[in-house]
Structure 1
Amino acid sequence: MSLDVALRHRFPAADLDLAFTAPPGVTALFGPSGAGKTSVANAVAGLLRPDAGHVRLNGRTLFEDGTWTPPHLRRVGYVFQEARLFPHLTVRRNLLYGAPDDRGLAHIADLLDIAPLLPRRPANLSGGERQRVAIGRALLQAPDLLILDEPLSALDAARKDDILPYLERLAAEASIPMLYVSHSLAEVIRLASHVALIANGRLAGFGRPEDVFSDPLLAAHLGPRAAGAVVSGDVTAQDPDGLAVIATPMGDLVLPLPVAVGQPARLRIMAEDVIIARARPEGLSALNVLPARVLDLHAQGATVMVRLTCGGDQLLLARITRRSATALDLAPGTPVHAILKSAALVVQS
């Protein structure tokens, strides 16, 4: 199953002109506010009719010259920023609104842990519970594609933490492609199998999160705190002092994280949190010092984005000053040591 999109549309403030093919799994439309992410989602759903291009879902042409499938016939489930539930209906009746039948109700209620909520009304639900019901309603319409447009933006941090595990389960178990619209780096890295980076109505980059966020050529579009490495690993030990040992392709990392042994983990290591040394340093408080090799360098004003390889082909990105790069005499192939000041745990399942 796949989604093939090519869109051109003129807006008063900016133009939309991009194309991509989303494979099965979760494709995140990522970028700053106003970049065009929701416009893409609306065009796919049929809520916006573009000036030109096409939208093809699993081989069905939904939009192209001379072809226009209205929204209600596209078999696209859409979850908005607000749950938009009917206040006078119970959760059960909200879930089944628009569904062909109730055969999938028990499974969806179990998947999203909303079975105890079925007799209640939306006014008696938390924000996270309402969003889970909205997601369940979209799934029960048996869609060929599920679009989630900033589904967590209206929730506080605690409610986001509550609902993210359910989105992870949905991403792992759903057999349909999903478009996830967000400007939250943590959400995208946690959920997406592919990222469409959108900037000023154009597609700046497309690929796996590991590749997009570690591409130094995309750093200007990502923002100062988004460029960096995405590293997957497994928790192999939890020491008595609270430090967890995580086995990764670039070696074992020791981090102060409360995680259980045996769990997989995904880490985000920002380019600004990596220091480069030519020789292995001594007498540092940093616990993670990894042998690496310079892959390439990209000057950006007074700074340089240095792409490193660790443990074979694991990519790591470091942002240093041009003066430091010159003083270290860095060049492609130079052996170095990467010192990690910190790393953030963005997912564990």
Structure 2
Amino acid sequence: MMLEIALRHRFAGFDLDVAFRAPPGLTALFGRSGSGKTTIVNAVAGLLRPDQGRILADGAVLLDTGAGVCVPPHRRRVGYVFQDARLFPHLTVRQNLMYGRWFAPRGPGADLGQIVEMLGIGPLLGRRPGALSGGERQRVALGRAILSNPRLLLMDEPLAALDEARKAEILPYLERLRDELRLPILYVSHSAAEVARLATTVVLIGAGRVQASGPAGAILSDPAMAPAFGLREAGAILTARIAAQEDDGLSRLDTGAGPLWLPRVAGGPGTLVRLRILAQDVLLATVRPEGISALNILPVTVREIRTGEGPGALVALVAGDDVILARITRRSAERLQLTQGQSIHAVLKAVAVAPADVGRG
């Protein structure tokens, strides 16, 4: 299902003017706080009527201000998950889930048993929200939204209020929703790590405008986009397949550029994973290094060298079918005499990739 959005709206001191398409999968709206991301999802949900706009969901018109069409929120078939779960405190988990059924249109929809299993909330059904952790509450909120049988799902920074442990708990469930339900998801975030792990499409929002949009791999590996994510968070996605679980606690992964060894990655041989490789963790060598502790040495080709006003440089590297980034100094780039098309080696320590940066492929 394709979601098409074109909106214009003026607030005091802020103008929103955006247009983009969200294809099937998880589309992340990424940008700083106050850039207009929540305004967009509120307009899609029908909680905000923009000054001008047109919103189509798989060809169905939800909003067309020029034609005087504005479908009420309860008829848009949109599931919405907020930062806080907003569960009914006096109802059990099962009753909260079933509340979503009140808004489901007639016809086939998500099965309660399927959603309970997918979100791992079976043991929680008899509890009330006050007895749940933050991650558990968010999983129940997800289930309630899905059981309303929406045509698309909106998520407004659903992990922002959670600590790192609770985020790590819920991320695999979000991946399952993305991969198994085939439900289009519009996901608001200002976390580069979440976007790299979850997004299939990225729309960069800045000061009420679309700065860039496209497949997640292409946006994240573009050196020109790195300032939007923050140079310390700049990194790209590398796809890999688990080849073996080795006796010393490492997993051997096959990539298009060669093997990688990482601390134990969950999954059996053949499991597809996606890795977020931070640019600051990648070292470059013009000849294959020897006698070093780093296990991962990949042959790569220089695609682009981008320098800024400071002393740093970002180098885009073709690694098999993927592109990764390396953040080095301009002095290093000059000393190595890097040029476009040059064949070099990227060096990555096995422990450089955090467990949270390894997700389902």
Q: Which residue of the partner structure matches residue 26 of structure 1?
A: 26
Asked if 1:170 is matched to 2:177, the reply is yes
Of 214-223 and 181-190, more deviation after overlay is shown by 181-190
Of 11-20 and 79-88, more deviation after overlay is shown by 11-20
| Alignment-mate amino acid for residue 53 of structure 2 | G
1:278-302 Cα distance to aligned partner (Å, 9 max, x none): 2222222222222222112222122
Q: Secondary structure at the match of 1:175?
A: coil
After TM superposition, give the deviation of residue 258 of structure 1 in Å.
4.8
Asked if 1:309 is matched to 2:337, the reply is no
Correspondence list, 1:324-335, <5 A: 324-335=332-343
1:280-332 Cα distance to aligned partner (Å, 9 max, x none): 22222222222222112222122222111123x32121122222222222221
Task: Give the whole-Å Cα distance in 1 for the aligned partners of 2:19 and 2:287.
Answer: 45
Task: Give the whole-Å Cα distance in 2 for the aligned partners of 1:104 and 1:239.
Answer: 39
| Alignment-mate amino acid for residue 314 of structure 1 | D
Q: Which residue of the partner structure matches residue 99 of structure 2?
A: 97
Which structure: greater helix fraction?
2
Of 54-63 and 89-98, more deviation after overlay is shown by 89-98
Asked if 1:247 is matched to 2:249, the reply is no
Task: Give the whole-Å Cα distance in 1 for the aligned partners of 2:110 and 2:329.
Answer: 60
1:51-101 Cα distance to aligned partner (Å, 9 max, x none): 222111111111122221121111111011111111122222222224247
| Alignment-mate amino acid for residue 300 of structure 2 | A
Correspondence list, 1:5-154, <5 A: 5-64=5-64, 65=66, 66-100=68-102, 104-154=111-161
Shift in alpha-carbon separation, 1:23–1:85, aligned structure 2, 3 A? same
Shift in alpha-carbon separation, 1:285–1:135, aligned structure 2, 3 A? same
Any conservation in 1 of the 2:192–2:229 contact (CA below 8 Å)? no
After TM superposition, give the deviation of residue 6 of structure 1 in Å.
1.1
| Alignment-mate amino acid for residue 160 of structure 1 | K
Any conservation in 1 of the 2:239–2:322 contact (CA below 8 Å)? no
Query: Sequence identity of aligned pairs in percent?
Result: 55
Any conservation in 2 of the 1:238–1:259 contact (CA below 8 Å)? no
Of 67-76 and 253-262, more deviation after overlay is shown by 253-262
Task: Give the whole-Å Cα distance in 2 for the aligned partners of 1:103 and 1:300.
Answer: 49
| Alignment-mate amino acid for residue 290 of structure 1 | L
Q: Which residue of the partner structure matches residue 344 of structure 2?
A: 336
Shift in alpha-carbon separation, 1:158–1:119, aligned structure 2, 3 A? same
Asked if 1:182 is matched to 2:193, the reply is no
| Alignment-mate amino acid for residue 231 of structure 1 | L
Correspondence list, 1:284-303, <5 A: 284-301=292-309, 302-303=311-312
Shift in alpha-carbon separation, 1:13–1:136, aligned structure 2, 3 A? same
Task: Give the whole-Å Cα distance in 2 for the aligned partners of 1:161 and 1:303.
Answer: 32
Task: Give the whole-Å Cα distance in 2 for the aligned partners of 1:315 and 1:144.
Answer: 33
Task: Give the whole-Å Cα distance in 2 for the aligned partners of 1:236 and 1:298.
Answer: 34
TM-score scaled by length of structure 1:
0.93
Any conservation in 2 of the 1:235–1:247 contact (CA below 8 Å)? yes
Any conservation in 2 of the 1:269–1:344 contact (CA below 8 Å)? no
Shift in alpha-carbon separation, 1:300–1:154, aligned structure 2, 3 A? same
Shift in alpha-carbon separation, 1:107–1:343, aligned structure 2, 3 A? closer
Q: Which residue of the partner structure matches residue 230 of structure 1?
A: 237
Task: Give the whole-Å Cα distance in 2 for the aligned partners of 1:158 and 1:42.
Answer: 29
Of 29-38 and 107-116, more deviation after overlay is shown by 107-116
List gaps (5 residues or longer) in structure 2: none
Shift in alpha-carbon separation, 1:316–1:115, aligned structure 2, 3 A? closer
After TM superposition, give the deviation of residue 235 of structure 1 in Å.
1.8
Q: Secondary structure at the match of 2:88?
A: coil
List gaps (5 residues or longer) in structure 1: none
> How many residues are paired up?
348
| Alignment-mate amino acid for residue 24 of structure 1 | P
Shift in alpha-carbon separation, 1:135–1:329, aligned structure 2, 3 A? same
Q: Secondary structure at the match of 1:138?
A: helix
Any conservation in 1 of the 2:316–2:324 contact (CA below 8 Å)? yes
1:257-282 Cα distance to aligned partner (Å, 9 max, x none): 35444133221111111222222222
TM-score scaled by length of structure 2:
0.90
Q: Secondary structure at the match of 2:233?
A: coil
Aligned to 1:269, which of 274, 277, 293?
Answer: 277
Shift in alpha-carbon separation, 1:148–1:280, aligned structure 2, 3 A? same
Any conservation in 2 of the 1:83–1:131 contact (CA below 8 Å)? yes
After TM superposition, give the deviation of residue 233 of structure 1 in Å.
0.8
After TM superposition, give the deviation of residue 16 of structure 1 in Å.
1.6
1:151-203 Cα distance to aligned partner (Å, 9 max, x none): 12222222222222222221112132111111222222222211112222222
Q: Which residue of the partner structure matches residue 201 of structure 1?
A: 208
Task: Give the whole-Å Cα distance in 2 for the aligned partners of 1:109 and 1:338.
Answer: 43
